[in-house]
Amino acid sequence: MSFRQFLTILYARRGVVLGVLALVLAATVAVSALLPPKWTATAAVIVDSKGADPVSGIILPTQMLPGYMATQVDIIQSQNVALKVVRNLKLAESPISHQEWLDATGGRGSIEVWLADLLLKRLDVRPSRESSVVNVSFSGVDPKFAAVVANAFAQAYIDTNLELKVEPARQTAQWFSERTRTLRQDVEGSSAKLAEYQRAKGIVSLDERLETENARLEQLNSQLSLAAAQTADAQSRQRLARDFASSGSAQDSIPEVIANPLVQNLKTELSRQEGKLKELTTRFGANHPQVIENSAEVQAIRQRLKEEMAGVVVGLDNNARIAQRREAEIRAQVAAQKDRVLALKKERDELAALMREAENAQKAFDVTTQRYTQTNLESLATQTNVAVLSPAAEPIQPSFPKWPLNIAAALALGSLLGIGVALLLELLDQRIRSAADILGQLRLPVLATLPAARAPGALRARLVRRLRRADAAH
């Protein structure tokens, strides 16, 4: 079928096309007039994607996630928000709503859930493209009720958003409160243990005591070093004297004996008396009274010198023993002082451990208290990052039916339906409308084309049937 033939068919059956179009238009007008009008009220809600936490001041990064706005749309369309709307507007208390619920469900289930489902069916939530604004629309037969419900959904969404933020903070604050009480007991216990340890050990200032005892230990170590040196020197002199004695040497050859001033004086006196005795013996003889007296004096000096040298040797032994005994005493004092210092260090370590335990308990308590204060403030928050940008107002014109749109749709649908009916009728009752139809349908050559005759319709029909029979005979 060519486009010319298509136009020819439409022109020939224009009555059918116009009739179907008129019928569709009439039906559309009738339906639009009979159906009750619906009114749509829209409330705009803005979600602040760059809002900061009012307590901590930290900018929340979760709002920047791609699915955040989709999540907010799902929250608005949730049954939780719808139930809040039902409760806030007290729809379940209406006798009409109660009767409709009884008729629809027979009293089964919850009337609030049933009403919430009905509201959600008439709710339309659409986020604006590339912005943080969400449009909450509600459609109803009453324009005032539609505006009230739209605003109620916006407010219920804000309340739900605040609950979703506050409820976790409230639970966290409760947990931190219990933990704070436990940590307070730990702080009190560790502080009491530290105080009891200091009282039991008599510790006022352990560091000062430790410094004093360390200084005392250093002093004793110095004394011990000096005593050890003195002992070594005394023992060395003692050994030297014993070596001289064991070798058969005279005592006056011992260095300590030689260096003794009294021994030196006695030796000098002995030499003088011996010289005098020799002189007297030469002058008077051995039996002279002066010689005898001087001889006795010489013997006395020799005896005294011998005793003095023996005393020097005994003194070396005594000095060695005294030096050893003093060294042993100082060494014992050093050992006792070391034990005292080690005990103080042990006490200091135990005290430091108790102090660290108390400090750690205090730090944990401080951190937990700080977090409890913060979460408690968050649980008491009354602000959220959602606000009503523009509340829903009572609509002036109904959103349904939309007469221009319905008429345009009826024209388009009626035209298509009329064309379809015309083509269907043409398929059931094909007619010759042009020379091209004779050549295409009867397969006969066209000899001539006559002007259009205004013959009755029956005559034209008989002419077509004869032409078909002629075509069938060939």
Per-residue pLDDT, 427: 73
Q: Indicate whether 153 pLDDT > 90.
A: yes
pLDDT digits (tens, 9 = 90+) for 255-304: 665 566 766 777 777 677 778 777 777 777 777 777 777 778 878 877 77
Instruction: Give the model confidence (pLDDT) of 409-454 as tens digits.
Output: 878 888 888 788 877 877 777 666 665 665 556 565 665 566 655 5
Q: What is the pLDDT of residue 148?
A: 92
Q: How high is the pLDDT of residue 411?
A: 82
Best CA proximity match to 356, nearest among 199, 196, 191 = 191
Rounded to two decimals, the pTM is: 0.53
More reliable by pLDDT, 86 or 165: 86
* 64 vs 110, higher pLDDT: 110
Q: What pLDDT shows up at residue 262? A: 67
What pLDDT is attached to residue 82? 93
Residue 91 or 384, more confident: 91
**With contact defined as beta carbons under 8 Å apart, do 262 and 301 qualify?**
no
In this structure, how many other beta carbons lie within 10 angstroms of the beta carbon of residue 74?
12
For residue range 197-244, what is the model confidence (pLDDT) as tens digits? Answer: 778 877 666 566 777 878 888 888 888 888 888 788 777 766 766 666
pLDDT of residue 55: 47
Position 162 scores a pLDDT of 86
Q: What is the pLDDT of residue 343?
A: 83
Percent of the chain with pLDDT over 90: 10
pLDDT of residue 401: 62
- 23-41 pLDDT tens trace: 888 887 777 666 667 878 9
191 versus 43: the higher-pLDDT residue is 43
Which pLDDT tens digit goes with each residue over 158-196? 999 888 888 888 888 888 888 888 888 888 888 888 788
Of the two residues 300 and 78, the one the predictor is more confident about is 78
Mean pLDDT, all residues of the chain: 77
Range name among 58-62, 104-108, 133-137, 429-433 with the lowest pLDDT average:
58-62
The pLDDT confidence band at residue 22, using thresholds 50, 70 and 90, is confident
Cα distances (angstroms) measured from residue 429 to each of 9, 312, 425, 465, 469? 11, 166, 6, 12, 16
Encode pLDDT of 315-362 as tens digits.
Answer: 667 777 888 888 888 889 888 888 888 887 887 788 788 888 888 988
**247 has pLDDT over 60:** no
Residue 263: the pLDDT is 63
And the tokens for 378? 């968050």
Q: Residue 83 — very low, low, confident or very high, per pLDDT cuts 50/70/90?
A: very high
Strand order in the sheet with 123-127: 123-127, 133-140, 39-47, 386-390
Q: How much is the pLDDT for 114?
A: 92
The residue type found at 136 is V
Domain ranges of the chain: 1-35+415-428, 430-473
